[in-house]
């Protein structure tokens, strides 16, 4: 490029909104997660799931099924995808539940890092920064940073080491240390390479958007802090869901709002499109979801209130009955299918390079 290198601040919405939702929110999430660990029970994780994670799935349905434009463009993937996923899940949970769990877990992690990668690409798109190669090197940065966390953090090391023991694979302390060392070496080496790449591109005349790097720093600060310093699945789960779910809901709402302004297209399930109606619709969806699963309402209450008469514990004979096994399979299929459909739809409806998607961004 012939033009001089510049620093360009590109915002998804504006300085105040972006700095709160995409830079400060991860730290707010960590604080709230720590408070939940100190003063609440593990029910808090189920409550966060109901107030944030379930509604953020609703955001995907608004985008995929609610907008006429997207329905016409992706009609067959939107019709056939749920049928295939639901059928495969039902069979897998009946005969290969561990396989289904691992596939869902891996896809969940891949989905999480891809959301942050996509938001980073939006920041480059907004500021017209970076080179044609930036996206590819950014993706590898996410893969290695997130993968290094899963391989080396105490919270995650305990999980994958335990699973290897369950599979009766030979493993030793020395082998685990070797995996950690290789992961640190590869990740550290790539970080040095990536910094050099960014500086080289900047000297070649490509602009940089500082907000993109602040966003990445805050995102990985949450993940790494929750994985290393807390050693708590509760803290990680709540902090991650606050960041991931709320950032997704915000970007979906802004997208729908822009689409309505430009083309008049509005999700049919939202009679009015504003911040309050969108949030309320997400809560109503969570209530319907909880009802569909026949789950207790007190899970909405962060463990601060419980049912007056707790249900009697099931006997061994009752818990092994066909009826209860059928309910367990039904509930697991509904929960996993909504998550997998969310991952599946997001894999093609949010491509930043798509011109139709860019119109809403």
pLDDT digits (tens, 9 = 90+) for 33-69: 999 999 998 899 999 999 999 999 999 999 999 999 8
**What's the pLDDT score for residue 306?**
67
- Is 133 exposed, middle or buried, given 0-12, 13-18 or 19+ CB atoms closer than 10 A? exposed
**What's the pLDDT score for residue 283?**
95
pTM of the full structure: 0.90
Sole residue written with tokens 């290897």: 164
User: Which of 246, 6, 217, 14 has the alpha carbon at shortest distance from 120?
Assistant: 217
* Number of domains into which the chain is organized: 1
Quick check: 119 and 197 in contact, CB under 8 A? no
| Residue 182, in any domain of the structure | no
Q: Is 69 helix (H, G, I), strand (E, B) or coil?
A: helix
* N- to C-terminal Cα separation, the chain: 26
| Residue 5, in any domain of the structure | no
| Residue 106, in any domain of the structure | yes
Residue 5 CA to residue 202 CA, distance in Å, equals 6
| Residue 133, in any domain of the structure | no
pLDDT digits (tens, 9 = 90+) for 329-347: 667 777 888 999 999 999 9
Domain containing 337: what range? 15-110+231-360
| Residue 39, in any domain of the structure | yes
**What's the pLDDT score for residue 159?**
85
Residue 79 CA to residue 265 CA, distance in Å, equals 21
**What's the pLDDT score for residue 124?**
95
Residue 143 CA to residue 153 CA, distance in Å, equals 15
| Residue 322, in any domain of the structure | yes
Residue 244 CA to residue 166 CA, distance in Å, equals 31
**What's the pLDDT score for residue 14?**
94
Residues of the chain with pLDDT under 70: 1-5, 230, 306-330
| Residue 220, in any domain of the structure | no
Alpha carbon of residue 303 to chain centroid: 24
Quick check: 283 and 58 in contact, CB under 8 A? no
User: Which of 116, 102, 132 has the alpha carbon at shortest distance from 204?
Assistant: 132
């Amino acid at each position: 490029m012939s033009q001089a290198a510049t620093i360009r601040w590109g915002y998804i919405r504006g300085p105040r909104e972006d700095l709160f939702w995409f830079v400060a929110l991860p730290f707010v999430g960590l604080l709230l997660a720590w408070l939940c660990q100190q003063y609440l029970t593990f029910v808090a994780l189920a409550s966060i799931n109901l107030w944030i994670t379930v509604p953020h799935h609703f955001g995907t349905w608004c985008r995929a099924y609610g907008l006429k434009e997207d329905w016409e463009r992706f009609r067959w993937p939107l019709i056939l995808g749920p049928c295939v996923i639901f059928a495969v899940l039902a069979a897998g949970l009946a005969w290969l539940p561990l396989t289904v769990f691992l596939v869902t877990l891996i896809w969940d992690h891949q989905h999480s890092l891809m959301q942050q990668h996509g938001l980073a690409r939006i920041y480059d798109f907004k500021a017209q920064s970076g080179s044609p190669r930036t996206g590819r090197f950014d993706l590898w940065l996410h893969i290695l940073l997130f993968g290094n966390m899963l391989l080396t953090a105490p919270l995650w090391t305990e999980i994958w080491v335990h699973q290897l023991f369950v599979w009766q694979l030979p493993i030793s302390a020395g082998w685990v240390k070797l995996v950690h060392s290789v992961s640190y070496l590869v990740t550290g080496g790539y970080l040095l390479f990536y910094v050099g790449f960014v500086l080289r591109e900047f000297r070649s005349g490509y602009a940089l958007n500082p907000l993109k790097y602040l966003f990445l720093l805050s995102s990985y600060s949450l993940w790494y802090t929750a994985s290393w310093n807390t050693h708590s699945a509760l803290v990680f789960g709540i902090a991650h869901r606050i960041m991931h779910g709320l950032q997704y809901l915000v970007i979906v709402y802004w997208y729908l709002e822009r689409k309505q302004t430009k083309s008049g297209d509005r999700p049919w399930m939202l009679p009015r499109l504003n911040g309050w109606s969108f949030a309320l619709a997400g809560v109503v969806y969570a209530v319907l979801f909880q009802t569909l699963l026949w789950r207790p309402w007190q899970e909405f209450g962060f463990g601060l209130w419980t049912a007056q008469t707790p249900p009697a514990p099931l006997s061994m004979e009752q818990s092994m009955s066909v009826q209860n096994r059928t309910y367990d399979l039904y509930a697991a299929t509904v929960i996993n299918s909504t998550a997998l459909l969310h991952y599946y739809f997001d894999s093609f409806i949010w491509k930043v390079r798509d011109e139709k998607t860019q119109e809403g961004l």
